[in-house]
Every structure is written in structure tokens, then in C-alpha cells.
């Protein structure tokens, strides 16, 4: 057996994590089939499916945007996996899109919302996903170009059950 195979076998044989606790369930409000609307224009821009995977230990997103900024047609697609990392007590999200962009967010649940940040030095991206009432979820994307001292909103979406 190779060294890599031994290391993988050791990982598989570790004691399973119980993913039913409050930390692991903090992002469950986002699970569903959604119609996504840009808050500023009221235009339906995308569909998104968020589902529980890996025995309830992760959330998988499949996002398909058909209307871009200014109402222009687009075929933008994004996929993510989000999970609570019990080792260091933070939520992590790995996101990749059809433009070839890759983002590794980290964050936490704050007052019922999930706040995830990508730190690229002076430029930071912050995504806040929060219940918005009537079964809807609001997602706000912000950017900071001064290391997190000030933030400007890049987008705001409302996810409604499809």
C-alpha cells in the first residue's frame, strides 16, 4: 500500500462527526429550490438548488443565472460546497463558476445569518445569507478594497421557494 493510500485509509477510519448539532445545522435555512431575484430591479435572474449532501454534513449549491447586470442575457453557472469545519469551528465554502473563478470562503453564523468572507489581502469579499421572512432568503455580496474597513454592496438577491 502506498503512503497516500495509507493516509486516505486513516482518514476514512476516523470517528465520524455528528452533523446533527446546531453548528452543523446553522445553514440549513438555505436548503431548497429557489427562484433568485435581484432586489434592486425586481428581475428574476437565476435559479438555485441548495441541497443537503454527505449525510447531512455539507450543503451543495447549483446556481444558474440567465440574466446579468443591466438585464443582459447570460449563461453563468456556479457550484459550491459549504460545511462546518469542526476542527477549527468555522464554516467553509468552496465556490467555482463558469468564468473560471474559484473562491474559498470562511466564516460563521451571526444572529441567524451566515457570514462568509474571502480574504485576498486588501481586497475582501463578504457574502451574507440570511432568512428574510415568508420562507425567503436574502443574499448580499459586498467588497472591501481597504482590508475590511469599509464595504460596498455588489449585489443583493432574494431567494424565493420555486
Q: What is the pLDDT of residue 14?
A: 65
Domain boundaries, the chain: 16-161
Distance (Å, whole) CA 116 – CA 128:
6
Asked if residues 128 and 114 have their Cβ atoms less than 8 Å apart, the reply is yes
| Residue 7: pLDDT over 80 | no
Q: What is the pLDDT of residue 22?
A: 95
| Residue 2: pLDDT over 80 | no
| Residue 13: pLDDT over 60 | no
Q: What is the pLDDT of residue 5?
A: 67
**What is the pTM assigned to this prediction?**
0.88
Q: What is the pLDDT of residue 12?
A: 60
Q: What is the pLDDT of residue 100?
A: 96
Q: What is the pLDDT of residue 63?
A: 98
* Mean pLDDT comparison of 4-8, 12-16, 105-109, highest-scoring range: 105-109
Could you write out the DSSP letters of every residue in 30-83? G-EEEEEEETTT--EEEEEEEEEEGGGTEEEEEEEEEE-GGG-EEEEEEEEEEE
The CATH code for residues 16-161 is: 2.40.128.20
Percentage of the chain modeled with pLDDT above 90: 83
Q: What is the pLDDT of residue 4?
A: 73
Q: What is the pLDDT of residue 123?
A: 93
Amino acid at each position: 500500500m502506498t503512503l497516500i493510500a495509507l493516509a486516505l485509509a486513516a482518514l476514512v477510519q476516523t470517528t465520524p462527526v455528528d452533523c446533527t448539532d446546531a453548528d452543523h445545522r446553522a445553514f440549513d435555512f438555505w436548503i431548497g429550490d429557489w427562484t433568485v431575484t435581484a432586489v434592486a430591479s425586481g428581475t428574476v435572474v437565476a435559479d438555485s438548488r441548495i441541497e443537503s449532501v454527505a449525510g447531512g454534513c455539507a450543503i451543495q449549491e447549483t446556481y444558474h443565472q440567465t440574466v446579468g447586470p443591466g438585464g443582459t442575457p447570460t449563461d453563468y453557472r456556479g457550484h459550491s460546497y459549504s460545511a462546518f469545519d469542526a476542527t477549527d469551528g468555522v464554516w467553509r465554502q468552496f465556490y467555482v463558476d463558469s468564468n473560471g473563478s474559484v473562491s474559498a470562503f470562511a466564516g460563521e453564523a451571526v444572529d441567524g445569518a451566515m457570514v462568509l468572507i474571502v480574504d485576498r489581502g486588501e481586497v475582501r469579499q463578504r457574502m451574507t445569507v440570511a432568512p428574510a421572512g415568508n420562507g425567503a432568503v436574502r443574499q448580499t455580496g459586498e467588497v472591501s478594497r481597504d482590508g475590511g474597513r469599509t464595504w460596498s454592496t455588489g449585489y443583493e438577491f432574494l431567494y424565493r421557494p420555486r
